[in-house]
């Protein structure tokens, strides 16, 4: 079964949105879950968080940053074309029931994962503050969409090019010190960003959830590639998560594992071939 791409939209120079016709996945998908896709029969299995879904239309939206060989190849797929596999939903939905006032924080592409969680909280009647951070204003994504589903939206940039300079931790600390009392902080983005958000919220004793997205292969817990250490125990992000208590994550271990395959990915991009010698889409 092939899955048709109904919509493709560039959100910034390196990030694109893709809406895929996948009715069985859309029927069960919830915020926090992910899918694993293969572009074609020779492609690798790559996980992407569900950024949105429409049960009536039977569609699932993913948002992708072009960083490696497979994401580069996926960027060549246009609306009207198909991809081979689109499996999911996988992982546990984010536990959002009972949250009354939350700060949802997205760093860079993590904003795409933060969006469905903030949207669901808004639908549940929670007071939602969304804080997003980007390197500069050209990289900002989903600003209009987030305005619609949040009580307060604060977009910060590292260089201040959007008129609001600072890191998400600076913004969160300012909000807390101004008297905002959150019963949950949800942080999604680069590991180092989530680490420092968790350090800050520990100081104020605010429960904090993070979304862990390490290397995954099968999405069933069998390969062990997505293991993370939580509270001194080994967990698998694909079946135990991807959401965990951020105050229990071994951040140093997670960041070390995140760098393990950087050289392999670089070589794959340079060679433009998968390890069994098949050519990539651009060469077919």
- Rounded Cα distance between 249 and 211, Å, is 11
Residue 281 lies in a domain: no
Which pLDDT tens digit goes with each residue over 223-238?
777 889 999 999 998 8
pLDDT of residue 268: 59
pLDDT of residue 68: 84
Q: pLDDT averaged over the chain?
A: 89
Q: What percent of the chain has pLDDT over 70?
A: 90
279 pLDDT above the threshold of 50: no
Pair 80, 111 in one domain: no
- Rounded Cα distance between 101 and 104, Å, is 10
pTM of the model: 0.86
| Distant-in-sequence, close-in-space partners of 187: CB < 8 Å, separation ≥ 6 | 105, 107, 110, 168, 193, 194, 197, 198, 208, 209, 210, 211, 246
Q: What percent of the chain has pLDDT over 90?
A: 76
Which pLDDT tens digit goes with each residue over 140-158?
999 999 999 999 999 999 9
The whole domain housing 123 covers 95-211
Residue 269 lies in a domain: no
How many H-runs (helices) and E-runs (strands) does the chain carry?
Answer: 9, 16
Do the beta carbons of residue 25 and residue 89 sit within 8 Å?
yes
- Specify the CATH number for the domain of residue 13: 2.40.30.10
Q: Of 211, 227, 252, which residue sits at a domain end?
A: 211
Residue 280 lies in a domain: no
pLDDT of residue 224: 79
Residue 22 lies in a domain: yes
- Rounded Cα distance between 173 and 230, Å, is 25
Identify which of 162, 115, 153 has the alpha carbon closest to the alpha carbon of residue 134.
162
Cα angle value 254/233/120 (rounded, 5°): 70
Pair 7, 71 in one domain: yes
Q: How many CB atoms lie under 10 A from the CB of residue 123?
A: 12
Pair 100, 57 in one domain: no
Between 263 and 151, where is the model more confident?
151
SS3 89: strand
Pair 58, 110 in one domain: no
Residue 270 lies in a domain: no
Which pLDDT tens digit goes with each residue over 31-61?
999 999 999 988 889 999 999 999 999 999 9
Pair 74, 134 in one domain: no
Pair 108, 84 in one domain: no
Pair 45, 107 in one domain: no
- Specify the CATH number for the domain of residue 129: 3.40.50.80
Residue 260: pLDDT band (50, 70, 90) is low
DSSP letters of 37-85? EESSTTPPPEEEE--EEETTTTEEEEEEE--SHHHHHHTT--TT-EESE
Which pLDDT tens digit goes with each residue over 164-197?
999 999 999 999 999 999 999 999 999 999 999 9
pLDDT of residue 258: 64
Pair 137, 43 in one domain: no
- Rounded Cα distance between 165 and 151, Å, is 21
pLDDT, mean of residues 242-267: 80
Q: Of 211, 229, 264, which residue sits at a domain end?
A: 211
Residue 48 lies in a domain: yes
Q: Of 90, 107, 134, which residue sits at a domain end?
A: 90
Structurally, the chain folds into a number of domains equal to 2
pLDDT of residue 77: 94
Pair 116, 195 in one domain: yes
Residue 56 lies in a domain: yes
pLDDT of residue 259: 67
pLDDT, mean of residues 103-132: 95
Pair 19, 72 in one domain: yes
Pair 110, 191 in one domain: yes
User: Lowest mean pLDDT: which of 89-98, 209-218, 229-238?
Assistant: 209-218
pLDDT, mean of residues 84-108: 94
pLDDT of residue 270: 62
Pair 116, 202 in one domain: yes
Residue 205 lies in a domain: yes
pLDDT of residue 26: 96
């Amino acid at each position: 079964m092939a899955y048709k791409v109904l919509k493709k939209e560039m959100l910034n120079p390196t990030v694109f949105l893709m809406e895929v016709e996948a009715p069985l996945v859309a029927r069960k998908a919830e915020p926090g879950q992910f899918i694993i896709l293969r572009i074609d029969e020779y492609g690798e299995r790559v996980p992407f968080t569900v950024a949105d879904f429409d049960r009536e239309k039977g569609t699932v939206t993913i948002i992708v940053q072009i960083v490696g060989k497979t994401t580069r190849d996926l960027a060549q797929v246009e609306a009207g074309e198909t991809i081979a596999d689109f499996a999911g939903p996988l992982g546990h939905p984010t536990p959002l029931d009972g949250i009354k006032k939350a700060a949802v924080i997205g760093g860079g592409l993590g904003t795409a994962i933060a969006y469905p969680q903030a949207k669901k909280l808004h639908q549940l009647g929670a007071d939602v503050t969304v804080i997003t951070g980007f390197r500069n204003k050209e990289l900002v994504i989903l600003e209009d969409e987030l305005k619609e589903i949040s009580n307060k939206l604060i977009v910060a940039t590292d260089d201040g090019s959007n008129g609001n300079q600072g890191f998400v931790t600076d913004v969160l600390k300012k909000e807390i010190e101004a008297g905002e009392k959150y019963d949950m902080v949800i942080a999604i983005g680069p590991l180092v960003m989530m680490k420092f958000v968790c350090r800050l919220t520990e100081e104020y004793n605010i429960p904090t959830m993070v979304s862990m997205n390490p290397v995954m292969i099968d999405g069933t817990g069998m390969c062990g590639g997505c293991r993370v250490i939580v509270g001194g125990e080994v967990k698998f992000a694909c079946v135990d998560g991807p959401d965990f208590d951020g105050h229990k994550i071994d951040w140093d271990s997670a960041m070390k594992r995140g760098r393990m395959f950087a050289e392999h990915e670089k070589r794959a991009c340079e060679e433009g071939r998968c390890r069994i010698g098949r050519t990539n889409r651009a060469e077919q």
